[in-house]
Structure 1
Amino acid sequence: MTTHHGSCHCGRIQFDVDGDITAAVSCNCSICQRKGSLLWFVPRSALRVSTPESDIASYTFNKHVIQHRFCPTCGMHPYGEGTAPNGDATAAINIRCIEGIDLDKVPVHHFDGRSK
């Protein structure tokens, strides 16, 4: 298993996440389409955020079940937090915010979040 380091654009939000990136999801819901995120879903326990909670902004919409986390300084959205359908705590990592990966080598699956 690999540990990846990531951050927002200005570096205010820093995180490490454990796991192997085998695929990402591109969602067309109203927020994901605008953000352009490529999401990698991991157990919440695999994500370690080193930034104090008070320095991270959060946004929810629609059913208010996903905490879309973003930097109040640069506006970047490195991850989200929620609950998987099976009830497990989950993190959705924006792999565009992870250092040193070749995005062209990550298979992208398209998810129709607009219809959900």
Structure 2
Amino acid sequence: MKQTYHGSCHCKAVTFEADIDLDAGTAKCNCTFCWKQRMWNAGQLGPADFRLLTGADALADYGKSGEWGETHQHFCRTCGIATHGHGRIEAMGGEPFVSVHLAALDDLPVETLVAAPVHYMDGLHDAWDKTPAETRHL
């Protein structure tokens, strides 16, 4: 069941709320961007499930695109903390999605986080719908 969580960057310039069903799963990817950030995201949310409350002007955008689709990662220009991303990935249906960095959620109990299922994606090889051979480091 979806629950509304609240999140922010470190300096609180960027704040948001998101309706997330953690029982539906979380995601970890082995692409170089996700690996370098040790990113752990809420599963793919619909755009209506995410609401940026403050800080649109404080956000920077790092985007990447290819035959597989496109992604944009957003982070605070002041403190550098990544908060969320959006995009579309053809291997996952090509529908627009929003992803929320779970570490940016301010009111997510640790017990709830560690109980959530994790889905692994092989973004390193643009095989987003496949599980990488090695996941222990993610």
Structures share fold, TM-score greater than 0.5: yes
TM-score (norm 2): 0.76
Aligned-residue sequence identity (percent) comes to: 28
TM-score (norm 1): 0.89
Q: Measure, in 2, the Cα distance between the counterparts of 1:48 and 1:94.
A: 14
Give the 3-state SS of the residue equivalent to 1:37 in structure 2: coil
Q: RMSD of aligned C-alpha atoms?
A: 1.7
* Unmatched runs of 5 consecutive residues or more in structure 1: none
Q: Per-residue CA shift, 1:10-53, capped at 9, x if unaligned?
A: 11110001132122111010100001111112001110001242
Rg larger in structure:
2
Q: Per-residue CA shift, 1:42-78, capped at 9, x if unaligned?
A: 0011100012422211001353821110001111111
Per the alignment, residue 60 of structure 1 pairs with 63
Alignment of 1:7-46 (within 5 A): 7-22=8-23, 23-40=25-42, 41-46=44-49
Tell me the number of residue pairs that the alignment of Structure 1 and Structure 2 aligns: 116
Distance 1:62 1:89, change over 3 A: closer
Q: Which protein has greater RCO, CA pairs closer than 8 Å, 6+ apart? A: 1
* Unmatched runs of 5 consecutive residues or more in structure 2: 127-138
